[in-house]
Amino acid sequence: MTSAIRETIAPAKANDTQDHHGDLADLNDAFDVLLEYRKMQEPPIERFSPETDDPEYLAFLKKITECKSGSEMHRMIMARKRLEGRPDLASI
């Protein structure tokens, strides 16, 4: 009985070695299809557009990204929030 099992396993292992990359390609293709399907199920992401966004706010974002330190950036954000009447909000 053991020799019969060996005879069936040996060809299977040889085939696995030969088809190994094909199986991985098939699996990768399946994951790609699944990912595309999941993307279609999700609501579209709102994209920001320079034509429709507030130019002043975009200029502010550009300015704070040029800060030399995090503390300088934090001070600028807090100052803006105070001007907007929302000093308790520390995020943009």
Mean pLDDT for each 10-residue chunk of the chain (92 residues)? 49 48 73 87 71 80 92 91 75 52
CB 16 within 8 A of CB 10: no
pLDDT for residue 64:
92
One-letter amino acid at 75 equals: R
pLDDT for residue 89:
63
Domain ranges for the chain: 1-45, 49-92
Q: Which residues contact 76 (CB under 8 A, 6 or more apart)?
A: 60, 63, 64, 67
DSSP 6-34: HHHHHHHHHHHHHHHHHHHHHHHHHHHHH
pLDDT for residue 1:
45
One-letter amino acid at 20 equals: H
pLDDT for residue 12:
47
Its pTM stands at 0.40
